[in-house]
Amino acid sequence: MNNSGAALRHHKKPIISPLRYPGGKASLYPRLRAIVRANNLTSGTYVEPYAGGAGAALGLLVTGQVRRVVINDLDPAIYAFWKAVVDDPMAMADRIKKVNLTVSEWSKQKEAYLSAPREDYLTLGFATFFLNRTNRSGVLNAGPIGGVDQTGKYKIDARFNRETLIERMRLISLHSKRITVLNSDGMSVIKRYSKRDDTLVYADPPYFEKAGSLYLNSFDDTRHASLARCLNEVSDSLWVLTYDNVPRVTELYEARRREVFSLNYSAHRVTKADEIMVFSDSLTVA
């Protein structure tokens, strides 16, 4: 069986995103799928205004749970990556096949990441992807796995399985006509899409406590509060929000239904409910 088959066989969590994302939400796929079905949105659109690795979006699209997905990220590098994947997946696949997995290539890609023009999607998008797959924890401003001297236990190629990554590109390319990629502020995307009744918005903004070191764009309290105003204003539309479970979230979304959960839930291990999900009033929660 090829890799896309293997990815899809795992009905509970299809792994399709080519990006590694700290705190990625691919594991929310079963929950979001249930919500899509309960709200009769299988012919509709699913929108991630803070997409990052877009793991849940791609899972829902490729398994036919929704008709269209919108992937938005304000970070120009993440946007360039998605734009390149959707517009020119074969060029990305070709680069994945041929790129050297060495520290000197890593330095070149780092340079491209820092200096490629925003509109050169292929160069900037591939550099972003390369660093995401070869850096420690996928963090774009970290160093390479194994260190610059490559003396660590794992080496720079530890997370770069060419075949698997090319398969993921191919799988996405089969569905690319149904993917819209945007580079706007998340709130403008929420305002634009929340008016539609066949659309589910899933917002996963930078968190209160974990975000700073992980993402280029972290939020301050004013931004968290404006996002809350924006979402609370459209509580009659269909949206889900996730955050780290801090008291401020309960304050900002006091009037909304909320549920704490753990991303690392395991049947054999008691884990702390360290995340929180907030629901719009009109949503049927499943």
CA–CA distance, 87 with 71 (Å, rounded to integer) = 13
Q: Which structure tokens are listed for 16?
A: 């399709």
> Per-residue contact track with ligand SAM, 84 to 123, x per CB under 6 A?
----------------------------------------
Contacts with 5 (C-beta within 8 Å, 6 or more apart), sequence order? none
CA–CA distance, 51 with 78 (Å, rounded to integer) = 9
Q: Which of 74, 145, 179, 240 binds ligand SAM (CB under 6 A)?
A: 74
Q: How far is the CB of 207 from ligand SAM (least distance, A)?
A: 6
Coil, strand or helix at 151: coil
Q: Which of 24, 125, 138, 146 binds ligand SAM (CB under 6 A)?
A: 24
Q: Specify whether the CB–CB gap between 193 and 46 falls below 8 A.
A: no
Interface with ligand SAM, residue 275, by CB under 6 A? no
Q: How far is the CB of 14 from ligand SAM (least distance, A)?
A: 13
Interface with ligand SAM, residue 21, by CB under 6 A? yes
Q: How far is the CB of 94 from ligand SAM (least distance, A)?
A: 25
CA–CA distance, 250 with 159 (Å, rounded to integer) = 37
Q: Specify whether the CB–CB gap between 179 and 71 falls below 8 A.
A: yes
The DSSP letter of residue 179 is E
Q: How far is the CB of 186 from ligand SAM (least distance, A)?
A: 3
Region from 67-75, 109-117, 153-161, 170-178 binding ligand SAM, contact rule CB under 6 A: 67-75
How does DSSP assign 38-60, residue by residue? HTT-TTSEEEETT-TT-HHHHHH
Q: Which of 113, 130, 208, 215 binds ligand SAM (CB under 6 A)?
A: 215
Residue 217 burial by Cβ neighbours in a 10 Å radius (0-12, 13-18, 19+): middle
Q: Which of these, 200, 211, 237, lies nearest to 66 by C-alpha position?
A: 200
Q: How far is the CB of 215 from ligand SAM (least distance, A)?
A: 5
Q: Which of 164, 217, 232, 262 binds ligand SAM (CB under 6 A)?
A: 217
Q: Which of 29, 46, 50, 243 binds ligand SAM (CB under 6 A)?
A: 50
Q: Nearer Cβ to ligand SAM, position 58 or 92?
A: 58
Interface with ligand SAM, residue 25, by CB under 6 A? yes
> Per-residue contact track with ligand SAM, 174 to 203, x per CB under 6 A?
-----------xx-----------------
CA–CA distance, 84 with 93 (Å, rounded to integer) = 10
* Contact residues for ligand SAM, defined by CB under 6 A: 21, 23-25, 49-50, 52-53, 55, 72-75, 78, 185-186, 204-206, 215-217
